[in-house]
Amino acid sequence: MLRDEQEMFVSLVRLMFDNPNIGTWRFKVTGENNGRGMALFVFNTSKYLQEQKYSSAEQKRVLTEEVLLSKLGVHVKHIFPMVLQPLQNSLFETPKEYMAHFYR
C-alpha cells in the first residue's frame, strides 16, 4: 500500500519506465466498491522516452537510465494533476481531492 505522494510517484514512474507500452494506469482508493474510487492516468511513456532520446541525440548527449527516470518523474509529477481522471465525479470533483483519499 502506498502511504504518501513521494512513494506513489517513485513507484509509478518506475513502473512506467519498465513498461513503456502501457498507456493507461488505473488507480483505486482502498475501501471503495463497485467501481467507486477509481481513476485513470493516461500517458504515452514510449513516445515521451523516444522524444527524450531523440532530443539528446541531436545534442550529442547520451541519456542514462537514471537521467531518463528523473526526467520522466519530473514530467509525470507536473502533468499528473491535470491528466488524472477520477471516474466518479460525484465522489471526487478534482484529482487533488481524489489523491487525498488515495493516500489514506
pLDDT digits (tens, 9 = 90+) for 41-60: 999 999 999 988 888 777 77
Residue 14: pLDDT band with limits 50, 70, 90: very high
pTM of the model: 0.81
pLDDT at 99 over 90: no
**Angstrom distance (rounded) from CA 65 to CA 76:** 16
- Mean pLDDT for 57-64 is 76
Asked if pLDDT for residue 62 goes beyond 90, the answer is no
Contacts of 24 (CB under 8 A, 6+ apart): 40, 41, 42
For residues 78 and 58, give the distance between their C-alpha atoms in angstroms, rounded to a whole number.
25
Mean pLDDT estimate for the chain: 85
Name the residue ranges covered by the structural domains of the chain.
5-102
